[in-house]
Amino acid sequence: MKVCTIVGRLTKDCRVQENQKGGFLAFSVAVDDGYGANKGALFFDVDYNRTGIAKYLTKGTQVAVYGDLKTREYNGKTYLGIRANDVKLIGVNKNKPEYQDGGSSLHTEHEQPANNNQDDEIPW
């Protein structure tokens, strides 16, 4: 198994697809590569077997993907893909209409509340 982690942005909205085992998400992630005049992007096709986060995976959303790296050949070109074990939402897509009110509604279900209580016991 070739495990990798990538961080990038979705190139378009995810698609929910069906197979013998049920539904899965299919989407593409663009990852920055290089810098300066050599700056470019690598594109990864991602398959993820949990469909519950589909509404958050829209074009431009920044995600971290962890999973098994795979490649496929087609017409002499090599395409990179990941069979994802975990997908984390890193940023919100500020182009979505619900985020256009000046930032007051940028809090989404996936964000963790800040813990400001300094009196909690440290678990270790």
CA of residue 61 relative to chain centroid, distance: 7
pLDDT digits (tens, 9 = 90+) for 94-119: 565 554 444 333 344 444 445 555 55
Question: For the domain bounded by 3-99, which CATH number is listed?
Answer: 2.40.50.140
pLDDT digits (tens, 9 = 90+) for 16-60: 998 887 889 999 999 999 999 999 999 999 999 988 899 999 999
- Here the tokens at position 6 are 């990538």
For residue 79, pLDDT beyond 90: yes
Q: Where are the domains of the chain?
A: 3-99
> Is the pTM of the predicted complex or chain greater than 0.95?
no
**Per-residue model confidence (pLDDT) at position 25:** 93
**Per-residue model confidence (pLDDT) at position 110:** 44
